[in-house]
Structure 1
Amino acid sequence: MRTILIIDDDVAFTAKLKAQLSEAGYRVLNSTVLAHAERECARERPDLVLLEVRTEHDAGWEALPRLAAFQPVIVLSSAGLEEDVMRGFAAGAADYITKPYRTGELLARIQARMLSEAPVIAPTNPKTTVIEEMTPVSTSRRANDEETAEPVFMSEAEELALLRQSEQAPIRQLSESEQHASLGHRLRAERQRRHLTLVQIENDIKVRMYYLQAIEDEQWSLLPRGPAALGMIRAYAGYFGIDASAAEAEYRLRYQVEEKTPSFSFTVGNVNTRLPRRSPPRWLIVTLAIVLALAIAVGAIYYFDPAFFSQFIGG
């Protein structure tokens, strides 16, 4: 069984990624501390490392060349600028994937990297004992890896092939655990059950693919703040007929989101007419307040000193 080491100090994200990789058939190790992760690499010799370079306040950038010297490293990071990607490859990364990512694409890239790193089995001599030592990857091998690296995005032909394969695959029933899972897990399970891609759903409900991925991973911080995020959650859940009220309540509680007050309606005959609630403009409120203050002041002066105004009138 192939071994993958995840290095990321986001504990919640690491737990979800570990579950996804374990379900795909990999032995998964994880570490939130870089020093411990490097010791784990020396002891366990993983086949692949998934590294978040922003671990320990961007200290992952310094660890990347050391880790890449002994095994292939895929950078899986929220640092997604062009200069970040170029810096990652320059430091020895075998591949670079930005968050949020497509789970199917990540698994495909891992599988491709595993195949490219498959060891050559040589005949062994029973009389000879071989002691393996950790040796840095040669420069020529690293250059080879960069030449054969998978493209960052799926090509149009690959996307069409995936769609054709999805149409031919049978639709399975959700397991009991999937039916009672959290919203993100249920949405991913329902999408995979129907063999749909995030691209298809984006075209149907007009919500960006990376927001859909964030909802599946329940990374609410990646969604835009306010009612727009609630609308995205409702749209994606409604696409599969799933009740999203619990996730909406959690989002409101976490980010203190208050939606606009509902409009009021009245009935004329048999027609229900709905009017929006409108607040008066600010300038009108200020003007009325000034006029009211002046009226109160004039009334008070007239009440306590009626002769005050008579001197102006008489003059």
Structure 2
Amino acid sequence: MTEADLDQPQQSVPTMDSITEPPVLVQASLSIGQALAEKRLSQKLTIEDVSARIKYSVRFIQALESDHWDDLPSGLALRGLIKSYTRLLGADAQPAEDALKDRIGVIRGGIANHTSTRSLATHETDRTQQSSVGWLALIGIVVVAAVAIAISQGIIPKALLPHWLGALVK
């Protein structure tokens, strides 16, 4: 050690006794619904305003703010409600989603999870061919019925009919 080092005050190493907990800012933690309601009120928005902007019913917003989880949808619908509401309020949706993971569940989906061995194009082709045969048969029956009615009512003159068909009509 040099003389300059000895002149410098020594920094103390913190011990477990010297470390204190940070002061508690909020005595009781707010629920998700209460926090959203507080944020909404701070922005001077009514529940009807929120409902009109995020396109969810007033009943759902009231249930969310009062933590009545049984009155709310679950899964993807609940996740959408929370995301829309927090986006409107300018808040982060992730903490609310994390807290409600058991109600939202794991959202799976997307094209990456498609497990069918048949391609979608093959499926459409088979369906189109089957429906074409049905339509052609129906059109044929309608045409034959229309011609038969026209002949029986005398709309088509017998002179225009082939002789084998004219013999059947009499």
TM class, shorter-length: 0.3 to 0.5
Bigger Rg over Cα: 2
TM value normalised by structure 2: 0.47
Ranked by relative contact order (alpha carbons within 8 Å, sequence separation 6 or more), the top structure is: 2
- Higher share of residues assigned strand: 1
- Higher share of residues assigned helix: 2
